[in-house]
A and B are shown apart, each in its own frame.
Chain A
Amino acid sequence: MLGDEAIALAALHAGISGVYAYPGTPSTEITEYIQRSPLAAAVHSDWCTNEKTAMEAALGVSYVGRRALVCMKHVGLNVAADAFVGSAMTGTHGGLVVVVADDPSMHSSQNEQDSRFYGRFALVPVFEPSSQQEAYDMVRVAFELSEDVRLPVLLRITTRMAHSRAVVSTAPACPPAPVSFPEDRSRWVLLPVNARRRYGELLAAQDDLERLSAVSPFNGYTPGGSKGVVACGIAHNYLMEALDGKPDRTVLKVSQYPLPRDLVRRLMDECDEVLVLEDGQPFVEEQLRGLLDTSGKVRGRLSGEVPRAGELTPDNVRAALGLPFGNHFAPSSSVVPRPPALCAGCGHRDVYEILNEVIADHPDAKVFSDIGCYTLGALPPFRAIDSCVDMGASITMAKGAADAGLFPSVAVIGDSTFTHSGITGLLDAVNSHSNITVIISDNLTTAMTGGQDSAGTGRLEAICLGVGVDPAHVRTVVPLPKNRDQIRRTIQEEIDHPGVSVIIPRRECIQTLKRKR
């Protein structure tokens, strides 16, 4: 099964009462597996509006003594960060495991941030599996650990772990826990007086967490000479691949954090040179070096043995180990990139074609867009958008630019992204009477990640009216070529309207439509 599926099955076997998530590649399949599973009849698995609501709902499950799984992609943790860091301060009651899927090499993402930093920042244990089997085993252990140390546990995976298949053996399922309440009421009320006490407890727990890492079955020290390697998570696989399963050097395998200081010290004492192999950012390497790098023997992404950016591969690990390469064919110079594109017949296509026509009469116009399939409108032949930053930023950036004097200032956002993080920005724009035109390109689904339910389906107009947009300037159209003239007029009229307008082009995603047939 996929790494994502192994995690989902382990959570079901651990007796969760709910999975709380917003879709995001490469984490989406965890929740989808639970939604399909016959084991999950009594398990909550509806998609959440965003990662923050997911994290908070899961903390509520934990509060009443039951187990919950939270899943998101790495940038989702930015959205959920307030609740995530807060959950370390309150601590947990029922087991709480937060799965965050990082995307080094940015296969489907806008940055390469490494979630292990968040774990360290929030002062919670972090697990990082090296195989699909370990992912399964770790989820089972993580729920127990979360209840033992009364903290959330972060399970950090990367794209290759999430989207690779292997055979996984399972352990007997345990029944869900009954509802129970935490004895200590005050730790859940983070008034400064309580928070100061809780922070002291959290800091005091760090030594225990480190001791647990030192004896963790997921970490290991294998002596093997004066050359040392730290292999974190999936890096261990690439190391074993390169060394054909027979390490000729000392290996410290790290799959549970905080870093086990005693094992690291032993490695540094016993080895002349220590290579750090980790997917993502140089999280461990920086800790081993310290600011002044007094040992001078730590190698890795910062010293150039491993590329500073991009995911690990069997090849760059092999190169970092100084091993020779076998013969292979030269890459073909005839091959050109084949970027993804909006599907033939997609409603976003009609929206961009018509918007481009209207904008052609307004040379100063800027179009702020967002995260979703419609981001592909940046590519030829459309070249229709000027920005894509984070979920919801289209509306708020358009507002800021309009406040600063831009006209016309247009936002293009999808339906699911709008409910995820666009509604509050629209409220800001209404309150400031900002002169913006918001296009909510509604395909009735969360299409980019494969067609999950969209939180506001059927209620987008009501949401916009509720936020306070003038009903005369909430306009719905059907993006089909035959409606081109009408849509063109609608966009032109709403750009001319000096205030907040919302245009909702609505037509079902061509992919979800095909699947129904």
Chain B
Amino acid sequence: MKKDIILSGVGGQGILSIAAVIGEAALTAGLHIKQAEVHGMSQRGGDVHSNLRISSAPIHSDLIPRGGADLIISLEPMEALRYVSWLRPDGWVVASSTPVVNIPTYPELGTLLAELNALPHSRVFDVEAVSASADVSRAANIVLLGAAARVLGLDFPSLQEAVRRVFGRKGEGVVEMNLKALQTGYDTYHI
């Protein structure tokens, strides 16, 4: 088993929490894991991404080679497209269609969505709206993770267990909200 995952978004959206849940589930499954993160300048509204690699065999590089990612999970449409050349030709993109427009040169949203939808395997949906309708807006990142669950290669109960452990120290309320968010995302797509 090997999954190379690129997580992307804008500083503060919560991609590292997604990585933490996947990483926790992978560790419990006895898999090898490597995760490269971006810290520093990117916290301030810039683009952020993380390379997450999980595998049953030892992993060498912290970074995913171009054309090697099995999956891009992105909380922002342009940030999904930024890494498209890292995607395998048969790889998946699971992304939010809600743009974060914090630069004056932000491209036409329709163009971005059309490019994403033209990929062979993409699931692009309004994560904010789905999260709001389930009353889990503060866990929109975990909704997106739920939507990607079927292509992650990890079973759903192990992700639920990982959510419990990762958010456990923040209290039962936070755990419950994130479990609901995970389920909401999972139910959005039957890939």
**Which of A's residues lie within 8 Å of B, judged by CB?**
2, 25-26, 28-29, 107-108, 160-161, 163-167, 234, 237-238, 240-242, 245, 313-315, 318, 325-332, 334-343, 373, 376, 380, 448-450, 511
Contacts of A343 in B (CB 8 A): 44-45
B131 at the interface (CB under 8 A from A): no
A243 nearest in chain B by CB position? B60
Answer whether A338 and B47 are a contact pair too, CB < 8 Å, given A29-B39, A167-B27.
Answer: yes
* Inter-subunit contact A332/B84 (CB<8 Å): yes
26 A-B residue pairs with Cβ-Cβ distance under 8 Å, sorted by A, are: A108-B40, A160-B62, A164-B35, A164-B62, A166-B34, A166-B59, A167-B33, A241-B65, A314-B61, A315-B66, A325-B66, A326-B67, A327-B67, A328-B67, A328-B86, A329-B85, A330-B85, A332-B115, A334-B112, A336-B78, A336-B103, A336-B105, A337-B47, A340-B45, A340-B46, A449-B40
| The residue from B65, B84, B105, B119 contacting A314, defined by CB atoms under 8 A apart | B65
B37 at the interface (CB under 8 A from A): yes
B168 at the interface (CB under 8 A from A): no
* Inter-subunit contact B60/A238 (CB<8 Å): yes
Rounded to whole angstroms, the CA-CA distance of A331 and B78 in the bound complex is 12
* Inter-subunit contact B41/A165 (CB<8 Å): no
B176 to nearest A CB, angstroms?
22
B107 at the interface (CB under 8 A from A): yes
B14 at the interface (CB under 8 A from A): no
Contacts of A29 in B (CB 8 A): 39
B138 at the interface (CB under 8 A from A): no
Rounded to whole angstroms, the CA-CA distance of A301 and B50 in the bound complex is 27
Rounded to whole angstroms, the CA-CA distance of A70 and B60 in the bound complex is 28
**Which of B's residues lie within 8 Å of A, judged by CB?**
10-11, 23, 27, 32-47, 58-68, 78-79, 81-82, 84-89, 102-108, 111-112, 115, 119
Rounded to whole angstroms, the CA-CA distance of A326 and B67 in the bound complex is 7
Rounded to whole angstroms, the CA-CA distance of A330 and B83 in the bound complex is 10
Contacts of A245 in B (CB 8 A): 58, 60
* Inter-subunit contact A336/B107 (CB<8 Å): yes
Rounded to whole angstroms, the CA-CA distance of A147 and B54 in the bound complex is 39
A4 nearest in chain B by CB position? B39
Contacts of A242 in B (CB 8 A): 65
Contacts of B65 in A (CB 8 A): 241-242, 313-315, 318
Contacts of B78 in A (CB 8 A): 334-336, 338
* Inter-subunit contact A340/B39 (CB<8 Å): no
* Inter-subunit contact B107/A241 (CB<8 Å): no
A511 nearest in chain B by CB position? B43
* Inter-subunit contact B63/A165 (CB<8 Å): no
Answer whether A335 and B81 are a contact pair too, CB < 8 Å, given A25-B40, A164-B37, A340-B43.
Answer: yes
